[in-house]
């Protein structure tokens, strides 16, 4: 704005609403970013489509500029200078299709504790007047409300060079407190688990983005579309030249979304998972919003406290609850919560159950994933298959999120020896809804042992793939290995036996030795070695029985 020399001076009185005078203290907004958010909400209510914030810490100044309707002298006197000006909640839409956010008229007051001076320049739409006023903030924290009402705000009215149809308001916070400048300049700590580890600027930006009535980024297409109101014109917000959007944890997936009613309360919600602990931790839980503004930080609705259960994957969950109707009159003055009503109770109970359910589902996924990862462990290169299983939503978590045994399931089982092929088939059959198809034909070159076909909801396993053919070598002779079970007490081939070709050995997986602590490889090599020694001898049956008995005696577990 350009200020000309044609000016007039006006003195306007301050007014204090006695019902909210107790909030004229440093306790109302202990967080500076949230205080700035109140100015942003005022801009939203003033019909701004763009708000720009500039931090000039070298000069100790912060500027908030919007293109809203602006203010006249009457607006300034009746609203801006009336601390605690109360506007009754209304469902009436303004020309931009918006419902009013502000109710208590304390937006400007919110920043008073953080600066020495509030300087305002404003021009109302369809007016040629540009109004300038300065407020010294310290007097609002000394004396009584009646003392404040004796003060006068000196307003200067200029001729504006803006187009008559345009409006604009610029609020400059001058003399920013030194402790606040120091905090904003603070460097980041180690890790991003909490916003307290962020740099001062990043913490300020994150908090502004979390609370302000702004939109999801274009990259969050599903969330943006689901919560969009085609009849409402959104507001855009910039901080030091960079546009801000609502905070959304990285790499989230939607677990659940819907629309619900609890009495007169109407809302839409989305529940998401990051499939790992959400960072920062302040983003864990569901962010409740009323008229696009955050009500407190995300919450788990006290699941653990009220159910006596600590859901294991609760910290993996985030999301949004957008209240469309019914709670405007129950918003507390600090905008952090709602007063307790039957509808609020029902809403909270609904989301407690939802959060518990989705935590339990993810716990189940983790168990299933662990079994599949363990089954795939013997494969030389399982990563391509793992990626296919993830894309098909069969595997949900990365290996790093699970406590996997260093030993594959083939070696871990003591009930019976299972081959890699059997173990993989069992894991995929038990843990997925996909049809398992076995192929006996010889695989082609570079053929993967397992193929996932998401469209057909099937998994093809090539039984004769080299990855599944176990072998054992004795005296430079190579034997393929299979497993079977039979009554070891009724056969001299109690541990193993050869097929008619003499090139394939079957091991008795139900033999007690394979349930002992002795290495299976050692048992298999000794047993096969004894079988080869006794083979084709006249006393083969007697000798083999004695040799096997010797093994059983020595290695008896």
| Residue 313 shares a structural domain with residue 382 | no
Residue 293: give the domain boundaries. 249-353
Predicted confidence at residue 236, as pLDDT, reads 97
Q: Residue 116: which CATH number?
A: 3.30.565.10
> Does 372 reside within a domain?
no
pLDDT-derived band of residue 269, with 50, 70 and 90 as boundaries? very high
Say whether both 417 and 499 belong to one domain. Answer: no
Mean pLDDT in residue range 462-485: 89
With the CA atoms of 338, 341, 345 and 347 taken in that order, what torsion angle do they form, in degrees rounded to the nearest 10? -70
Percent above pLDDT 90 for the chain: 62
**At 462, is the secondary structure helix, strand, or coil?**
strand
312 and 403 assigned to the same domain: no
Chain mean pLDDT for the chain: 88
pLDDT at position 437 over 90: yes
Residue 31 CA, chain-centre distance (Å), reads 23
How high is the pLDDT of residue 245? 98
Residue 404: its pLDDT value, please? 84
180-233 per-position pLDDT tens digit = 999 999 998 877 789 999 999 999 999 999 999 999 999 999 999 999 998 899
pLDDT higher than threshold 80 for residue 556:
no
* Same domain, residue pair 487 and 463: no
Confidence at 270, pLDDT banded by 50, 70, 90: very high
Residue predicted with more confidence, 405 or 367: 367
Phi, psi of 19 (to 5 degrees): -70, -25
Distance CA 89, CA 101 (A): 8
Residue where a domain terminates, one of 412, 446, 468: 468
Lowest mean pLDDT among 19-23, 194-198, 205-209, 388-392: 19-23
Residue 104: which pLDDT band, with cuts at 50, 70 and 90? low
Question: Residue 74: which residues within 8 A CB-CB, separation 6 or more?
Answer: none
What pLDDT is attached to residue 19?
A: 53
Token look-up 């909030």 returns 23
Residue 67 tokens, joined: 């293109």
Q: What is the DSSP letter of 28?
A: S
Antiparallel, parallel or unpaired: β 82-83 and 15-16: parallel
Residues 46 and 172 in one domain: yes
How confident is the model at residue 540, as a pLDDT? 94
Select from 179, 270, 213 the least CA-distant residue to 49. Answer: 213
The residue among 254, 368, 399 whose CA lies nearest residue 317 is: 254
Note the pLDDT tens digit of each residue in 411-428: 544 455 677 888 999 999
pLDDT digits (tens, 9 = 90+) for 280-326: 999 999 999 998 999 999 999 999 888 788 889 999 999 999 999 99
- Which of 303, 318, 353 is the last residue in one of the domains? 353
Q: What percent of the chain has pLDDT over 70?
A: 90
User: Are residues 195 and 48 part of one domain?
Assistant: yes
**501 within a domain of the structure (yes/no):** yes
Mean pLDDT computed over 162-186 = 95
Residue 169: inside a domain: yes
Name the burial class of residue 390, with classes exposed (0-12), middle (13-18) and buried (19+) by CB atoms within 10 angstroms of its CB: middle
Whether residue 332 is predicted with pLDDT greater than 90 in this model: the reply is: no
68 with 189, same domain: the answer is yes
pLDDT digits (tens, 9 = 90+) for 516-526: 888 888 999 99
Look at residue 35 and tell me if it is in a domain.
Answer: yes
Whether the upstream peptide bond of residue 360 has omega within 30° of 0, thus cis, is: no
Task: Say if 323 falls within a structural domain.
Answer: yes
In the predicted model, what is the mean pLDDT of residues 136-151? Answer: 71
**Chosen domain end from 425, 443, 468:** 468
Note whether residue 334 is domain-resident: yes
Distance from C-alpha of 279 to C-alpha of 192, rounded to nearest angstrom = 7
Whole-prediction pTM: 0.83
Number of domains in the chain: 4
Instruction: Provide long-range contacts, Cβ within 8 A and 24+ apart, for 91-94.
Output: 91/325, 91/328, 93/231, 93/232, 94/47
The pair of structure tokens assigned to 47 is 């019909």
State yes or no: pLDDT of 464 exceeds 60: yes
Q: Quick one: 316 and 304 in the same domain?
A: yes
pLDDT(21) > 50: no
229 domain residue, yes or no: no
Work out the pLDDT band at 541, boundaries 50, 70, 90. very high
CA gap 68, 339 in Å, rounded: 31
Q: What is the mean pLDDT of residues 132-150?
A: 76
Residue 475 and residue 464 in one domain: no
CATH of the domain at 331: 3.30.230
Shared domain for 460 and 501, answered yes or no, is: no
Same domain for 454 and 489, yes or no, is no
Q: 287 and 204, same structural domain?
A: no
Q: Is residue 230 part of a domain?
A: no
């Amino acid at each position: 704005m350009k200020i000309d020399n044609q000016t007039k001076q006006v003195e306007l009185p301050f007014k204090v609403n006695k019902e909210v005078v107790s909030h004229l203290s440093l306790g109302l907004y202990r967080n500076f970013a949230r205080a700035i958010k109140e100015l942003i909400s005022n801009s939203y209510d003033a019909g701004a489509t763009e708000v720009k914030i500039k931090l000039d810490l070298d000069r100790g100044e912060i500027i908030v500029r919007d293109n809203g309707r602006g203010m006249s002298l009457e607006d300034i006197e009746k609203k801006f200078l009336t601390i605690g000006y109360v506007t009754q909640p209304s469902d009436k839409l303004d020309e931009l299709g918006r419902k009013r956010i502000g109710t208590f008229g304390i937006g400007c007051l919110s920043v008073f504790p953080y600066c020495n001076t509030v300087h305002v320049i404003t021009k109302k739409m369809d007016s040629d007047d540009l109004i300038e006023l300065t407020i010294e903030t310290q007097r609002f924290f000394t004396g009584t409300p009646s003392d404040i009402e004796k003060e006068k705000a000196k307003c200067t009215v200029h001729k504006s060079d803006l187009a008559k149809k345009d409006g604009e308001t610029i609020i400059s916070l001058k003399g920013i407190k030194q402790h606040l400048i120091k905090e904003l300049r603070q460097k980041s700590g180690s890790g991003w688990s909490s916003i307290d580890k962020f740099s001062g600027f990043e913490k300020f930006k994150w908090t502004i983005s979390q609370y302000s009535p702004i939109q999801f980024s274009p990259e969050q297409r599903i969330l943006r579309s689901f919560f969009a109101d085609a009849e409402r014109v959104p507001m855009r917000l910039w901080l030091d030249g960079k546009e801000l959007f609502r905070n959304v944890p990285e790499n989230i997936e939607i677990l659940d979304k819907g629309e619900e009613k609890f009495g007169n309360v109407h809302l839409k919600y989305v529940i998401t998972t990051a499939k790992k602990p959400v960072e920062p931790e302040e983003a864990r839980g569901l962010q409740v919003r009323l008229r696009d503004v955050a009500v407190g930080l995300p919450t788990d609705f006290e699941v653990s406290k009220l159910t006596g259960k600590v859901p294991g994957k609760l910290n993996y969950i985030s999301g949004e609850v957008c209240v469309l109707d019914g709670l405007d009159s129950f918003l507390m003055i600090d905008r952090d919560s709602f007063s307790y009503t039957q509808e609020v109770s029902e809403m909270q109970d609904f989301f407690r159950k939802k959060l518990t359910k989705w935590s339990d589902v993810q716990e189940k996924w983790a168990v299933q994933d662990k079994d599949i990862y363990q089954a795939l462990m013997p494969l030389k290169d399982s990563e391509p298959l793992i990626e296919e299983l993830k894309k098909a939503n069969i595997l949900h978590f990365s290996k790093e999120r699970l406590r996997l045994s260093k030993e594959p399931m083939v070696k871990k089982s003591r009930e019976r020896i299972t081959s890699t092929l059997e173990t993989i088939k069992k894991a995929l059959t038990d843990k997925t809804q996909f049809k398992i198809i076995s192929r006996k034909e010889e695989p082609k070159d570079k053929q993967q042992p397992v193929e996932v076909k998401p469209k057909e909801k099937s998994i093809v396993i090539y039984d004769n793939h080299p990855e599944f053919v176990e072998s054992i070598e004795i005296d430079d002779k190579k034997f393929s290995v299979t497993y079977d079970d039979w009554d070891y007490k009724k056969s001299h081939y109690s541990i193993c036996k050869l097929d008619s070709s003499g090139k394939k050995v079957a091991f008795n997986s139900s033999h007690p030795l394979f349930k002992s602590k002795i290495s299976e490889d050692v048992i298999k090599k000794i047993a096969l070695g004894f079988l080869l020694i006794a083979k084709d001898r006249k006393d083969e049956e007697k000798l083999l029985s004695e040799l096997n008995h010797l093994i059983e005696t020595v290695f008896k577990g």
